[in-house]
Amino acid sequence: MVSMNIGLPSTSPKHPKHKPKLGKFIYLLTFIAVIGGFLFGYDTGIVSATMLYAPKNNDLKPMSNQWIGLIVSITPGMAAIGALLAGKASDVFGRRK
């Protein structure tokens, strides 16, 4: 049996000397993430409320359940596509090694 001792080197302090600073950029990213979540919920609420009245509109009269489902599912579907594109964009334009 092999035993390994993994630990911190004796020269490193247990606590850092200085607290890491949270820059303005971190606060900006946090704000953008919060606004993104808010907008997704807001859009979902707007589409759902609109779909209550859309079948009653005379211009949209022959609206089947398939069309209603398609219209409602476009918002999260496009959000998923946007998330995939944003992930790739963050890899390309994000933090450098």
Looking at residue 89, its pLDDT comes to 87
Per the domain annotation, does 69 fall within a domain?
yes
Domain count, the chain: 1
**pTM score:** 0.48
The conformational region for residue 53 under phi > 0 = left, psi -120 to 50 = alpha, else beta, is alpha
pLDDT tens across the length of the chain (97 residues)? 566 666 555 555 577 777 777 788 889 989 988 998 888 888 888 888 888 887 777 787 777 888 888 888 888 888 889 888 988 888 888 876 6
What angle do the packed helices 24-53 and 65-93 form, to 10 degrees? 170
Per the domain annotation, does 80 fall within a domain?
yes
Per the domain annotation, does 20 fall within a domain?
no
**Residue 55 burial (10 A CB sphere; 0-12, 13-18, 19+):** middle
Per the domain annotation, does 18 fall within a domain?
no
Q: In which domain, by residue range, is 62 found?
A: 58-91
